[in-house]
Amino acid sequence: MRFVKGHGTENDFVILPDADGRLELGHKQVAALCDRRAGIGADGVLHVVRTKLCAEVADQAAEAEWFMDYRNADGSIAEMCGNGVRVFARYLVDSGLAGAGELSIATRDGVKRVRLGTAGDVSVDMGMPRVLGVSGVNVNGRDYQGLNVSVGNPHLACVIDDPVADLDLRYWEPDFDHEVYPAGVNIELLNLVADHTVSMRVHERGSGETRSCGTGTVATAVAAAHGIGETTGTWTVRVPGGTLTVTLDERTSHLSGPAVLVASGDYPAVV
Ligand X SMILES: N[C@@H](CCC[C@H](N)C(=O)O)C(=O)O
As a whole number of angstroms, the distance between CA 171 and CA 166 comes to: 14
CB of 26 to ligand X, least distance (A): 17
Choice between 72 and 199, CB closer to ligand X: 72
Q: If binding is defined by CB under 6 A, does position 241 make contact with ligand X?
A: no
Choice between 160 and 239, CB closer to ligand X: 239
Annotated binding site for substrate: 11, 72, 82-83, 153, 186, 204-205, 214-215
Question: Under 8 Å CB-to-CB from 21, ≥6 apart: which residues?
Answer: 49, 50, 53, 54
Cβ-contact 182, 148 below 8 angstroms:
no
Q: If binding is defined by CB under 6 A, does position 81 make contact with ligand X?
A: yes
CB of 17 to ligand X, least distance (A): 20
Catalytic residue flag (residue 81): yes
CB of 225 to ligand X, least distance (A): 18
Distances (CA, A) of 119 to 38, 234, 260: 35, 19, 12
Beta strand ranges found along the chain (DSSP E): 2-8, 11-17, 44-50, 66-72, 102-106, 112-116, 121-125, 130-139, 142-150, 154-159, 175-176, 186-194, 197-204, 208-210, 233-239, 242-248, 253-258, 260-266
CB of 162 to ligand X, least distance (A): 23
CB of 132 to ligand X, least distance (A): 15
Residue 41 Ramachandran class (φ > 0 left, ψ -120 to 50 alpha, else beta): left
Choice between 12 and 18, CB closer to ligand X: 12
Q: If binding is defined by CB under 6 A, does position 18 make contact with ligand X?
A: no
Distances (CA, A) of 189 to 9, 42, 94: 17, 22, 34
- The correct pick among 90, 113, 201, 205 for binding ligand X (CB under 6 A) is 205
Choice between 156 and 164, CB closer to ligand X: 156
Q: If binding is defined by CB under 6 A, does position 256 make contact with ligand X?
A: no
Length of the chain equals: 271
Segment interacting with ligand X (CB under 6 A) among 96-104, 106-114, 213-221, 245-253: 213-221
Interacting positions 96-155 with ligand X (CB under 6 A) = 153
The count of chain residues that interact with ligand X, using the rule CB under 6 A, is: 18
Q: If binding is defined by CB under 6 A, does position 253 make contact with ligand X?
A: no
Catalytic residue flag (residue 158): no
b/e per residue, 148-164, with b = 16+ CB within 10 A? bbbbbbbbbbbbbeeeb
Which positions are catalytic? 81, 213
Kindly list the residues in this chain that would bind ligand X in the complex (CB under 6 A).
Answer: 11, 44, 72, 78, 81-84, 153, 186, 204-207, 213-216
